[in-house]
Structure 1
Amino acid sequence: MKPVHTLALGLALSAALLGGPARAAGASDTDAERAARWQEIAKSIFGDRKIEPTDTLVKIDAPARALDAALVPITLTMPEKDKIKAIHFVIDDNPSPYAAHISFGPAADPAELKLRVRVNNYTNVHAVAETRDGGLYEATQFVKASGGCSAPMGMSDEEAMKGMGDMRMKFAEGQPGKPVEATLMIRHPNFSGMQMNQVTRDYTPARYINKLTVTRGDQTVFTLDGDISISSNPVIGFGLNPEGKGPIKVAASDNQGGRWEHSFTVPSPSN
């Protein structure tokens, strides 16, 4: 499996050589054009592995029309969670289509995952579930949005970077024997490299979280490999196996060598 950022660069170069996104992306594309683009992306990520459609292994909940293209909420549900090893999330018409690869560990309850992404064009989004027996199964949804990857932060770069790496975590009230719902919030601008500094009129260099590892005790909850399609100040909702023990440790790193760690105590469930 190719690292997300390496794949994104390869796709961007290929698209530039072929006249790709500037030519192909947009609201007027036909279903055949979108299908052909997905086949190219899927081959770049998965090679010749077969991907089957599914209505049960993974489902996408995304707005049909985004209110804010730079903060598009995505919920992925996995009704047959015990079969799921990993999820690959792809935004077909983004400059960097391979938005995230999430691998679940034994401390995870992978029934649901929430995140916020940038969407740069009217596009299909794909969630590919990778099962423990090596199968690949896809769900697809069409999202109407425009300009999410180049949308300015609304503040200076310096302000956007203040407190970079700060983390918070919220827990829903839990019950004994039930999965624990957690929400991780990380302060980081996740600059896409396509945003223009409103003062200097220069493009801000890309700086984004490319690796996130969440553990509980000595067990992995999940790892996330990301790219520029993850929104600024990432917010990720996930589930914890109720049998897990110990504090949660989060380690995040970005493509410019930044690294941050933080630990959180999981509250005891209510009776």
Structure 2
Amino acid sequence: MTAAARRDGLRAVAALALAAAVPALRAAPGGLPQAEDGDSSEAWERLRAQLFGTRPLLTGAAVRLEAPRRAAYGASVPVKIVPALAQTPQLWMKRLTLVVDHNPSPLAAVLELTPEIGWPEFETRLRVDQYSHVRVVAELSDGTLHTDSRYVKTSGGCSAPPNRDAPEHIGSTLVRLLEPARVGVAGAAEVTVLHPNDTGFELDQRTMFYIPARFVRTLAVSYAGRPLFDAELDFSISENPSWRFRFVPQGPGELRAEAQDSQDARFSGRLAVEPQA
């Protein structure tokens, strides 16, 4: 399946799940929904069936999701995906699916990984539109699925207007190391695309019209010409989408990021890396 076909399929799945889903959260005093981290929801059960069918989802074995219990700003909720095993040719994490149950577009990201990533730990920021579970599903190369979730209390993430102070910088793609690179050691790096990631639910206070949706749709990151990960993204990722990750350089090379948004604009960034022995 081509990337474009997979992307269209994922969008169709998310749309069907959203259309059919009715939130099934328990109401707390005052009307605020409440749930526990490991709970399910009707929205999740429908999306799970569309994405994974009847395949079993194992908990607590291979992946952990970190997120705040209560987030002050729903348009920028930090999340961290923490693996329990390193990438090896014998067993590796091949796919990560990130979901926000009750977002207008619940399927936030699908990351296709390679063994080159070394240690498949990722950090990003999400838009969370209302009290919701945030979930990660990790698929290993042996076909097993592993999941973890956190219930996040916040709202308004998909209607908060983005910052447009410097529109001329839209598309700038920043690639940087967060620590000195060392040969054979999983070092931290970050890729950020300066982009408003408009959701289509934000009201322009000057015109009183909704801002049309436009967001980073794909991100491909490679090192020394070899792919590290490819990401299919949606507007549930915050503005200026940023991904922190770890990779294992085996020698000098170029860390490169290529992005494309939903209007087919293309952006790229690169960084020459000279790892220490």
**What range describes the TM-score normalised by the shorter chain of this pair?**
0.7 to 0.9
Tell me the SS of whatever aligns to 1:247: strand
Out of 125, 128, 138, the residue aligned to residue 137 of structure 2 is 128
CA contact (8 A) 2:75 2:160 kept: yes
Determine the structure 1 residue equivalent to 2:207: 200
Q: Rate the CA distance shift 1:24–1:150 in 2: closer, same or farther, 3 A.
A: farther
CA contact (8 A) 1:208 1:228 kept: yes
Residue 51 (structure 2) pairs with residue 42 (structure 1): no
C-alpha separation between the residues in 2 aligned to 1:234 and 1:169? 12
Tell me the SS of whatever aligns to 1:137: strand
CA contact (8 A) 1:107 1:215 kept: no
Q: Which amino acid aligns with 2:75?
A: A
Query: Where in structure 2 are the equivalents of 1:16-27 lying within 5 Å?
Result: 20=22, 27=32
Determine the structure 1 residue equivalent to 2:97: 88
Task: State the Cα deviation string for residues 225-252 of structure 1 (Å, max 9, x = none).
Answer: 0101000001110111232652122110
Task: State the Cα deviation string for residues 168-206 of structure 1 (Å, max 9, x = none).
Answer: 122112334311210111111100111111110110111
Structure 1 position 256, deviation (Å): 1.0
C-alpha separation between the residues in 1 aligned to 2:50 and 2:251? 36
How many pairs does the alignment contain?
261
Larger deviation, residues 226-235 vs 76-85 = 76-85
Q: Rate the CA distance shift 1:37–1:9 in 2: closer, same or farther, 3 A.
A: closer
Percent identical among aligned pairs is: 30
Q: Which runs of 5+ in 1 are unaligned?
A: none
Q: Rate the CA distance shift 1:175–1:218 in 2: closer, same or farther, 3 A.
A: closer
Determine the structure 2 residue equivalent to 1:169: 175
Q: Which amino acid aligns with 1:71?
A: S
Task: State the Cα deviation string for residues 205-234 of structure 1 (Å, max 9, x = none).
Answer: 110111111111231110010101000001
Residue 23 (structure 2) pairs with residue 14 (structure 1): no
Q: Which amino acid aligns with 1:216?
A: Y
CA contact (8 A) 1:160 1:188 kept: no
Determine the structure 2 residue equivalent to 1:79: 84
Structure 1 position 47, deviation (Å): 2.2
TM superposition score normalised by structure 2: 0.86
CA contact (8 A) 1:57 1:137 kept: yes
C-alpha separation between the residues in 1 aligned to 2:58 and 2:39? 19
C-alpha separation between the residues in 2 aligned to 1:154 and 1:243? 39
Q: Which runs of 5+ in 2 are unaligned?
A: none
Residue 148 (structure 2) pairs with residue 143 (structure 1): no
Determine the structure 2 residue equivalent to 1:181: 188
C-alpha separation between the residues in 2 aligned to 1:81 and 1:92? 28
Out of 63, 66, 70, the residue aligned to residue 65 of structure 1 is 70
C-alpha separation between the residues in 1 aligned to 2:26 and 2:174? 37
Out of 106, 117, 126, the residue aligned to residue 117 of structure 1 is 126
Q: Which amino acid aligns with 2:128?
A: V
Q: Which amino acid aligns with 1:224?
A: A
CA contact (8 A) 1:25 1:93 kept: no
Q: Which amino acid aligns with 1:139?
A: D
C-alpha separation between the residues in 2 aligned to 1:33 and 1:236? 27
Larger deviation, residues 168-177 vs 145-154 = 168-177
Q: Rate the CA distance shift 1:248–1:49 in 2: closer, same or farther, 3 A.
A: same
Determine the structure 1 residue equivalent to 2:222: 215
C-alpha separation between the residues in 2 aligned to 1:11 and 1:139? 20
Q: Rate the CA distance shift 1:202–1:137 in 2: closer, same or farther, 3 A.
A: same
CA contact (8 A) 1:216 1:244 kept: no
TM superposition score normalised by structure 1: 0.88
